[in-house]
Amino acid sequence: MPTVVIVGAQWGDEGKGKIVDLCTESADVVVRYAGGPNAGHTLVVGDDKLIVRLIPSGILRQQTRCVLAQGMVIDPAVLVSEMDELERRGLSPATRLVVSDRAHMILPFHVTIDTLRETTGKGGPKLGTTKRGVGPTYEDKAARRGLRMGELRDLGKAQRLIADAIVAWTPTLRALGAEPPDAGAIVRELEPLAARIVPLLADTSRLVDEVIRKGQNVMFEGAQGTLLDLDHGTYPFVTSSSASAAGACAGTGIGPTRIDAVLGIVKAYATRVGGGPFPTELTDATGEKLRADGAEFGAVTGRPRRTGWLDLPSIRYAARVNGLSELAVTKLDVLTGHTELQVCVAYDTPEGRTDEFPIDRLEHAKPVYKAFPGWREPLDGARSLADLPAAARTYLDFLESGAGVPLGIVSVGPRRSETIVLTTPFAPRPSPGAKTPRWDRPSS
Ligand code: GDP
Ligand code: IMO
Ligand code: MG
């Protein structure tokens, strides 16, 4: 049962898209289990670049089926426009895409509320959301008045449910300076989208269970990152879903015993987009250099990402709450050209020094750094650890031992080829029913 969860170990944008695309060479199915179009996963093949927001990053592999599972929130207009974009590129997404009929639907007023909360500053702390309606849609889900994708099959019923939701949101809309929309108008916009999406709807929990039973390779593609997880992140500066590995089970409808491995994606430094604590943030020229060299601008919003040094206690925290079994370190090449690199190894808190990530009292915690020598050589041509300069090896070794999780992949550029693969999550595609090893580890 080779099933692997890929999860961001930081605040998102770790390079999950690249690693999923790389690993899906041998995947039969890729499942997105949480979040929605707040995600932006970048895929680079040759000189071609594609950013997917809802559709799993496995879509570029013609043999791979892609599932949008029930833990997601889906904007039908964004989904159809992503499908159109893939069609234009000569891929045939509709034949390989399956959408859970239980995933919740983002409606135009969710986007309005999300946007107005951000722009007016009314309605809680200024989170710096992606303004894609994700938070309000999960609010409707928890309030048990959400619209699920399956309702696209019966737009008459959908209109009644939408009208009920609008009644519930009317005081909020008015407080934010907006008028409640017309449910009928929303449904008229949904009609052509429903015609495209309804044929893709299915009970994806059953589908994924069936492919796992057949021994096929399944990858669960996380969105956002552990520190943005609703339960385990830097609350309230988080997203509204279970972004961590546990979300793969709840968001897909499979049991924890079905998961074989959890691959944590760690950027070689740290970034964050949006508000909230970021103890190792650099607001100086070094931070600027990281942003410029790493092209750290939001894939969805284009916002400049905040940049900072690697925070090892937070990676250990992510290793713990996700049960990471392997690490993929990305963007090591971006660290080229610094005389010295710093890594946060502990925190000074009012209670004393700690190796733990003090997630609930970060405002009172001061990072303790260890300095490492930098290197000048470009790394994008490295294909084995032996190709790396000694200083880069030392940095990686320290990260691996500090995280307490073995290193499986090192990424040294955005392209598939710009990768050092130490272990591959999947063995070559199995024949149906064949037993495959959990991790294909070449003997050293
Ligand atoms: P995701 O949301 O985790 O999939 O990450 P994003 O796609 O939002 O951001 C990661 C960015 O880094 C994208 O522009 C990738 O093309 C790029 N990228 C991924 N891995 C590497 C790497 O190893 N080196 C460099 N220089 N860029 C990378
Ligand atoms: P990927 O999958 C980075 C951040 C937003 C904001 C907070 C809440 O590309 O790594 P939301 O719109 O979800 O209500 O915003 O979460 N955020 C992300 N940051 N990468 C992402 O996704 C993100 N998705 C949401 O910036 O701080
Ligand atoms: Mg991203």
Residues 379-405: pLDDT tens digits? 999 999 999 999 999 999 999 999 999
- Tell me what the pLDDT averaged over the chain comes to: 94
**Residue 47: predicted pLDDT:** 86
Distance CA(4)–CA(43), nearest Å, equals 19
Which of helix, strand or coil describes residue 428?
coil
Tell me the mean pLDDT in the region 5-11. 98
**Residue 432: predicted pLDDT:** 44
To test the ligand 2 pocket, which listed residue (72, 78, 273) has its Cβ within 8 A of the most ligand atoms?
A: 273
Of residues 443 and 308, which shows the higher confidence score?
Answer: 308
Tell me the mean pLDDT in the region 84-89. 94
Which of helix, strand or coil describes residue 287?
helix
> What ligand 2 atom has the least distance to the C-alpha of 276?
27
Q: End-to-end CA distance of the chain, in Å?
A: 25
- Annotated active-site residue 348? The verdict is no
CB 169 within 8 A of CB 189: no
Ligand of minimum distance to the alpha carbon of 43 = 1
DSSP conformation letters of 362-398? GGG-EEEEEEEE---S--TT--SGGGS-HHHHHHHHH
pLDDT at 435 > cutoff 70: no
User: Max alpha carbon distance in the chain (Å)?
Assistant: 65
Percentage of residues in the chain with pLDDT exceeding 70? 96
- What's the whole-model pTM score? 0.95
pLDDT at 443 > cutoff 70: no
Distance CA(392)–CA(411), nearest Å, equals 12
Residue that has been written with the tokens 């916009």 in this structure: 189
**Residue 438: predicted pLDDT:** 36
Task: Determine which one of 21, 28, 41, 260 is catalytic.
Answer: 41
Residue that has been written with the tokens 């997917």 in this structure: 52
**Residue 427: predicted pLDDT:** 64
Q: Is the dihedral of CA 404, 405, 410, 411 positive or negative?
A: negative
pLDDT digits (tens, 9 = 90+) for 226-246: 999 999 999 999 999 999 999
pLDDT digits (tens, 9 = 90+) for 150-203: 999 999 999 999 999 999 999 999 999 999 999 999 999 999 999 999 999 999
Q: Residue 92's pLDDT band (boundaries 50, 70, 90)?
A: confident
Does residue 405 line the site of ligand 2, with CB under 6 A? no
pLDDT at 248 > cutoff 90: yes
Q: How far is the CA of 224 from the centre of ligand 2 (A)?
A: 6
The residues that bridge with 267 in the sheet, in sequence order, are 330
Distance CA(216)–CA(2), nearest Å, equals 7
> What ligand 2 atom has the least distance to the C-alpha of 275?
27
The residues that bridge with 65 in the sheet, in sequence order, are 29
Distance CA(215)–CA(435), nearest Å, equals 7
Q: Residue 121's pLDDT band (boundaries 50, 70, 90)?
A: confident
pLDDT digits (tens, 9 = 90+) for 273-296: 999 999 999 999 999 999 999 999
Tell me the mean pLDDT in the region 100-105. 98
Q: How far is the CA of 175 from the centre of ligand 3 (A)?
A: 32
Q: How far is the CA of 14 from the centre of ligand 1 (A)?
A: 6
**Residue 428: predicted pLDDT:** 55
Ligand of minimum distance to the alpha carbon of 233 = 2
- Annotated active-site residue 110? The verdict is no
Residue that has been written with the tokens 């103890």 in this structure: 279
Phi, psi (degrees; rounded to nearest 5) at 115: -70, -45
Q: Which among 103, 60, 63 is positioned nearest to 82, based on CA atoms?
A: 60
Cα angle for residues 27, 31, 34 (degrees, 5° grid)? 150
pLDDT digits (tens, 9 = 90+) for 54-65: 999 999 999 999
